[in-house]
């Protein structure tokens, strides 16, 4: 959610920090700030709103070589300049930026007030610099490192922090517990950040902190330690993605760029065919780190996820039950751990997340692991917390997804789930011939997605046609139901239009009351067992003067006869049709947002990586 950048090196810190903040804008924020050490003082500049507002108050870059910066997404306290980070200690000699939530901050704040500390903000984060200063004041023999360790041991909650000290201009300290922090190793310079995107244009060498670890950064050197002051050997490794991959290129927005990258993203999820075993009609997913006998012992599969990843997981569960005949379900991670779930060792759990930093999903993983069951990851971000926490899994390899609204990562997730389905299905009931048939259909999908993308102009016209409408219904049946949910989510996320997804079979159980001329209904209608049922649902809406947009792979003349608008997608295996019906929904949401003048890549109140509960 929030973004952290720290820098120690020969360049002007304010320029480096500002560049880092701009690379983190995609995470979502409502205010930003920069602090750096100059002439034995910490200079702090903070402003609510966009980073351009912060730029407007920054002085000319000064010869400061150590500093820290932050983009805030409000949790405690309103969106104000005072609540933005960095936060200073009372003397102004310590500055801290913080991601996470301090659960016991009220108790700590009361204690600090008794010691004479005055607070300038409403945030939980401000207790941290005051605690560090209190430690230094009460224990003159403490080094800054010892003071930070003392302060952090007082905290209950989650944090990723960076601290700098006016009296130590060549020192920067970072720490992590439940909120990511990564070290960037450049030539004669070191970065700390919540996301490697902050420094990817300056170095690709990175190392990731684990929970309850600190990093002590001095001129061109760093060391990681536990909270018990034990050194943890760790070295930087080269990141797999580049600054160019994270650029917008010739597209007006990241979201439409990433929509158009989906054919290639799916090819990467398939390992450019490297994850296919065509002679055996199956797939290989070596990252699972499981033997065939372990996979055969699985009695159930459960996906744990949030947001779009949860809808992708519902598609995955449908695939597994339909094809591999394994009981499967998708669980909302934020609900999972609080209901005392039944966790058993015969169930294989998958944590699904684009960022690999989703707080609710991480906590669900920890709950499952604590109960002795196995959790694997399906993530995009290499080296992320979920990737490290799980003992195996599969990378999506979609490349950096910058827009807050997911597109290619969602497609990659269901791509991996299709591979998993084929792998487990062939071990059980799926014949060689059927396995080969499904594999061939998977192989053909990227080209068919390319064909759907050529309809961008038609979909743009549809967005214009329905621009005056403020409420939409999205409906699908079977495996198309979670795609309807995802389509509704996309529209509400980036256009701020109210949209709801329903199973078309549930139409008469409530949603039909919303149908009328002012509420368009988007139906996903694909050839297969449920075709006639969905067609009947469309007729019910038509009978009540509802406007109908149908996304279909059928040339049945009845579809055009009862629909106001039809988007035709290529034909494929019924269970793989979501890969194609998804694309028009993404583009419809995009063009609606563009026509409304909305900030497509950074929708209000939303963050790319939700790192707090």
With pLDDT > 90 as the criterion, what percentage of the chain qualifies? 84
The dotted CATH code for 3-238 is 3.60.20.10
Q: Is the dihedral of CA 274, 278, 279, 285 positive or negative?
A: positive
* Residue 243 pLDDT: 65
Catalytic residue list contains 390: no
pLDDT digits (tens, 9 = 90+) for 492-503: 999 999 999 999
Every domain of the chain with CATH number 3.60.20.10 lies at: 3-238
Q: What CATH homologous superfamily does 243-451 map to?
A: Glucose-6-phosphate isomerase like protein; domain 1 (3.40.50.10490)
pLDDT digits (tens, 9 = 90+) for 354-392: 999 898 999 999 999 999 999 999 999 888 889 989 989
Q: Which of 2, 47, 408, 490 is catalytic?
A: 2
Q: What is the band of 611 on the pLDDT scale with cuts at 50, 70, 90? A: low
Q: Topology of 455-600 in CATH? A: Rossmann fold (3.40.50)
Every domain of the chain with CATH number 3.40.50.10490 lies at: 243-451, 455-600
Catalytic residue list contains 608: yes
pLDDT digits (tens, 9 = 90+) for 475-485: 999 999 999 99
DSSP string, 495-561: H--EEEEEEGGGGGGTGGGG-BTTB-EEEEE-SSTTHHHHHHHHHHHHHTT--EEEEES---HHHHH
pLDDT digits (tens, 9 = 90+) for 129-150: 999 999 999 999 999 999 999 9
Q: Which long-range contacts (CB under 8 A, 24 or more apart) does 370-377 make?
A: 371/343, 372/343, 372/345, 373/343, 373/344, 373/345, 373/347, 373/349, 374/345, 374/348, 374/349, 375/304, 375/349, 375/350, 375/351, 376/288, 376/348, 376/349, 376/350, 376/351, 377/350, 377/351, 377/352, 377/353
Q: Is the pLDDT of residue 420 over 70?
A: yes
* Residue 1 pLDDT: 56
pTM: 0.86
pLDDT digits (tens, 9 = 90+) for 211-223: 999 999 998 899 9
Question: Cα 60 from chain centroid?
Answer: 35
571-599 mean pLDDT: 97
């Amino acid at each position: 959610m929030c973004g952290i950048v720290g820098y120690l090196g020969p360049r002007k810190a304010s320029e480096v920090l500002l560049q880092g903040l701009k690379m983190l804008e995609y995470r979502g924020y409502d205010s930003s700030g920069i602090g750096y050490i100059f002439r034995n003082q910490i200079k702090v500049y903070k402003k609510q709103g966009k980073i351009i507002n912060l730029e407007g108050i920054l002085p000319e870059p000064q010869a400061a070589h150590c500093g820290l910066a932050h983009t805030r997404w409000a949790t405690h306290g309103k969106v104000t300049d005072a609540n933005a980070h960095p936060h200073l200690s009372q003397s102004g000699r310590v500055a801290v930026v913080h991601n996470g939530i301090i659960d016991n901050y009220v108790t700590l704040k009361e204690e600090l007030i008794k010691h004479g500390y005055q607070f300038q903000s409403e945030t939980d984060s401000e207790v941290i610099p005051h605690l560090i200063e209190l430690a230094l004041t009460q224990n003159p023999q403490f080094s800054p490192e010892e003071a930070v360790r003392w302060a952090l041991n007082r905290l209950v909650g989650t944090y990723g922090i960076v601290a700098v000290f006016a009296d130590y201009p060549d020192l920067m300290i970072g720490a992590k517990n439940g909120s990511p922090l990564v070290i960037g190793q450049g030539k004669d310079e070191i970065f700390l950040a919540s996301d490697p995107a902050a420094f990817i244009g300056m170095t690709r060498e990175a190392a990731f902190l684990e929970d309850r670890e600190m990093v002590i950064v001095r001129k061109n050197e760093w060391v990681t330690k536990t909270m018990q002051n034990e050194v943890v050997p760790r070295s930087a490794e080269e990141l797999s993605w580049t600054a160019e991959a994270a650029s917008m290129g010739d597209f007006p927005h990241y979201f439409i760029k990433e929509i158009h990258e989906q054919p290639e993203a799916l090819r990467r999820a398939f390992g450019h065919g490297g994850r296919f075993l065509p002679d055996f009609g199956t797939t290989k997913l070596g990252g699972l780190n499981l033997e065939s006998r372990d996979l055969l012992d699985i009695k159930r599969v459960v996906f744990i996820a949030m947001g779009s990843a949860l809808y992708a997981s519902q598609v995955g569960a449908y695939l597994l039950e339909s094809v591999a005949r394994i009981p499967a379900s998708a669980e909302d991670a934020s609900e999972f751990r609080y209901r005392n779930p039944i966790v058993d060792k015969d169930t294989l759990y998958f944590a699904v997340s684009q960022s690999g930093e989703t707080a609710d999903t991480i906590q669900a993983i920890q709950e499952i692991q604590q109960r002795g069951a196995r959790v694997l990851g399906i993530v995009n971000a290499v080296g992320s917390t979920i990737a490290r926490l799980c003992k195996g899994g599969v990378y999506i390899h979609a490349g950096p997804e910058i827009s807050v609204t997911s597109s290619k990562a969602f497609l990659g997730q269901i791509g991996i789930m299709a591979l998993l389905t084929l792998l487990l299905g062939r071990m059980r009931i799926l014949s060689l011939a059927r396995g080969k048939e499904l594999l061939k259909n998977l192989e053909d999908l990227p080209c068919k997605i390319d064909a759907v993308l050529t309809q961008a102009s038609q979909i743009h016209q549809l967005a214009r046609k329905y621009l005056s409408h403020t409420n939409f219904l999205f409906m699908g049946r079977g495996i198309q139901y979670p795609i309807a949910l995802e389509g509704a989510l996309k529209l509400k996320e980036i256009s701020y239009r109210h949209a709801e997804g329903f199973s078309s079979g549930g139409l008469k159980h409530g949603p039909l009351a919303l149908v009328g001329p002012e509420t368009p209904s988007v139906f996903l209608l694909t050839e297969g067992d449920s075709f006639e049922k969905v067609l009947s649902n469309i007729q019910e809406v038509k009978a009540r003067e509802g406007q109908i947009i149908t996304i279909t792979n059928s040339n049945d003349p009845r579809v055009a006869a009862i629909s106001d608008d039809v988007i035709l997608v290529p034909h494929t295996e019924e269970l793989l049709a979501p890969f194609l019906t998804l694309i028009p929904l993404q583009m419809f949401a995009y063009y609606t947002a563009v026509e409304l003048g909305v900030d497509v890549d950074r929708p209000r109140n939303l963050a790319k990586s939700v790192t707090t509960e």
